[in-house]
Amino acid sequence: MIKRFVEKVQTLFTRRRRAGKPRQVLRDEHGIQRERVPRSALRVCETLQKAGHHAYIVGGAVRDLLIGVTPKDFDVATDATPEQVKPHFRRAIIIGRRFRLVHVMFGSETIEVSTFRAAANGEQAVDAHGRMLADNVFGTQADDAARRDFTINALYYDPTTETVIDYHDGVKDIRRRRLRMIGDPQGRYREDPVRMLRAVRIAAKLGFEIDEATRSPIARLADLLGNVPPARVFDEMLKLLTSGHSVACILRLRAEGLHHGLLPLLDVILEQPEGERFVMLALSRTDERVRAGKHIAVGFLFACLLWHEVLKRWKELQAAGAHRIPALDAAIDEVLGRQTEKLAIQRRFVADMRDIWMMQPRFERRSGRAPHALLAHLRLRAGYDFLALRGAADEAPAELVTWWHDFMHADEDGRARLLAAAPAPPKGEGPRRRRRRRPKSGSEAASAAGSAASS
In order, the DSSP letters of 290-325 are HHTT----HHHHHHHHHHHHHHHHHHHHHHTT--HH
List the alpha helices (DSSP H) in 222-297: 230-241, 246-255, 264-271, 273-291
Q: Is 166 a catalytic residue?
A: no
The pLDDT of residue 437: 55
Residue 16 pLDDT: 45
pLDDT of 15 reads: 44
d(CA 117, CA 282): 40
Which pLDDT value is given to residue 263?
56
The number of CA neighbours under 13 Å toward the Cβ of 316 is 11
Residues in the chain: 455
- For residue 73, indicate whether it is catalytic: yes
Which structural domains are found in the chain, ordered by start? 2-190 (3.30.460.10), 298-421 (1.10.3090.10)
| 75 in active site | yes
Rounded distance between C-alpha atoms, residue 109 and residue 261, angstroms: 37
Q: Round to whole Å and give the CA distance between 365 and 298.
A: 27
Q: Which residues contact 435 (CB under 8 A, 6 or more apart)?
A: none
- pLDDT per residue as tens, the chain (455 positions): 454 544 454 544 444 444 458 999 999 999 999 999 999 999 999 999 999 999 999 999 999 999 998 898 999 999 999 999 999 999 999 998 778 899 999 999 999 999 999 876 555 555 554 455 555 688 999 999 999 999 999 999 999 999 999 999 999 999 999 999 999 999 999 989 999 999 999 999 999 999 999 999 998 888 888 888 888 888 888 888 898 998 888 888 877 877 665 555 566 666 666 678 898 899 999 999 998 888 889 999 999 988 988 999 999 999 999 999 999 999 999 999 887 766 778 888 999 999 999 999 999 999 989 999 999 999 999 999 999 999 999 999 999 999 999 999 999 999 999 999 988 765 655 445 555 555 555 555 445 444 444 44
> What pLDDT is attached to residue 81?
95
Please pick, among 64, 75, 135, 169, the residue that the annotation labels catalytic. 75
Catalytic residue among 64, 79, 144, 149: 149
Strands 109-115 and 75-78 come out as: parallel
How crowded is the C-beta side of 57, counted as CA atoms within 13 Å? Answer: 28
Helix (H, G, I), strand (E, B) or coil at 429: coil
Is the torsion defined by CA of 242, 243, 245, 251 positive or negative? negative
Q: Say if strands 132-134 and 155-158 run parallel, antiparallel, or are unpaired.
A: unpaired
> CA–CA separation, 348 vs 330, rounded Å?
19
At residue 441, the pLDDT reads: 52
DSSP secondary structure code for residue 89 in this structure: -
